Structure 1
């Protein structure tokens, strides 16, 4: 959804997905509308792959102006920390934190050279508080680490015309990630104070705003896109096993 909204605003689009999981035909819809769009496969949780993805994008388009890092592996099953396997911990930290560092490191030299850039990461509601999040320990630890990285990078890169911000969506899941606001506007959601579920467009509109040329004074921010919903539960909801 973010790619579609940015394309509507004149951006050329490169979309990346992990090997074996992406659909190379995805940009066809954008191309049919006259948008320059490419699909690049790569596992950006690996530093060499992140560099390759950026290099391929630069070869195609000449530059990278906006990085939307929407990578965020998440285990829906509620688990205590002691129940996580080493592989699960590694995947969550590499996917949610290290991949952001690899991608930022890959795009920053070019952005510094052109004196312009936008980097947008994804977190979760209240991530800036580093709250206890029972059942989500590894994911929360990785994302709260990304909060510090976001704020630090914002300060370091501001003199180069580069902004760095984080979007913190609420519980926008499954098919709703690709839906427009008008498609969910009349769907009931008793859990969200707004009274309707969130959509991909809710987050995409914030991305488009941050990507705007005149949004250069907005950096180091965590922007909640939650409809008022607090996803953090003070105690475990997993139950005993």
Structure 2
């Protein structure tokens, strides 16, 4: 494969958490990888070095996707470096672990959840989709949560739920609007995957127990990465507007 033929994947939030195994998997699939980080510089650089040591190509960029100027700057930097973006994987998204009634959220907390989980994806697609159209196609993956497409109440985590259920509509709408440009858009809904398994392999979790998950074992970053890699495959062009659970049977109570 010639250098200029190698596809480019931008994994937003790829420096830590579930994005790490996505980065590693896509590098194995021959993608050149762009990783942006907001604050986790050390983790991003460490992951970048690991990919490069395996013969991959990586671009590590600092930037906050909730900020329009940062998104534009990062997109231009990737385009200047490699001239294209074939896949956009939106794995980033803040979460407040403390149960908080909707009326108790501060303005800053509300804005952080909406901007980080919904508006940021809008800013990204607004910059990246025109590039994909010119290239003749592309792939976009968003991340939700279990049963996000059903728009159930999620008491205590309302701001996050509002943002992610809105992201379901964004995903499906973008899929409908862009299919004629050969751009597919799908959502992956990870289950209750917790540290240290967010950056773990399936093998590392195989003999461990997880009472929260009906499958019996913890979910891992590799479980999620396998679905992302499938959706990004050239032969997955018939799948768009889908919301795919990777939950081991877990449902939100």
TM-score per shorter chain, which class?
over 0.9
- Is the deviation greater in 23-32 or in 34-43? 23-32
* TM-score in terms of structure 1 length: 0.94
**Contact 1:26–1:39 at 8 Å: present in 2 too?**
no
| Matched positions, count | 231
How far off its partner does 1:11 sit? Answer: 0.5
Moved over 4 A (4+): none
Taking the aligned partners of 1:70 and 1:55, their CA distance within structure 2 comes to 20
* TM-score in terms of structure 2 length: 0.90
Matched, 1:10 2:34: no
Provide structure 1 residue ranges, at least 5 long, that are not aligned to the other structure.
Answer: 234-241
Taking the aligned partners of 1:175 and 1:163, their CA distance within structure 2 comes to 31
Taking the aligned partners of 2:46 and 2:199, their CA distance within structure 1 comes to 16
Taking the aligned partners of 1:152 and 1:100, their CA distance within structure 2 comes to 13
**After superposition, what is the alpha-carbon deviation per residue over 1:127-173, rounded to whole angstroms, capped at 9, x for unaligned?**
00111110110000000000000000001000001000000000112
**Contact 1:151–1:220 at 8 Å: present in 2 too?**
yes
Taking the aligned partners of 1:65 and 1:25, their CA distance within structure 2 comes to 24
How far off its partner does 1:109 sit? Answer: 0.7
Provide structure 2 residue ranges, at least 5 long, that are not aligned to the other structure.
Answer: 1-20
Is the partner of 2:210 in helix, strand or coil?
coil
**Contact 1:181–1:199 at 8 Å: present in 2 too?**
yes
How far off its partner does 1:175 sit? Answer: 2.0
Aligned match for 2:195, one of 170, 174, 182 = 174
Matched, 1:156 2:170: no
**After superposition, what is the alpha-carbon deviation per residue over 1:2-26, rounded to whole angstroms, capped at 9, x for unaligned?**
00000001001011111x3322343
CA-atom RMSD, angstroms?
0.8
How far off its partner does 1:38 sit? Answer: 1.3
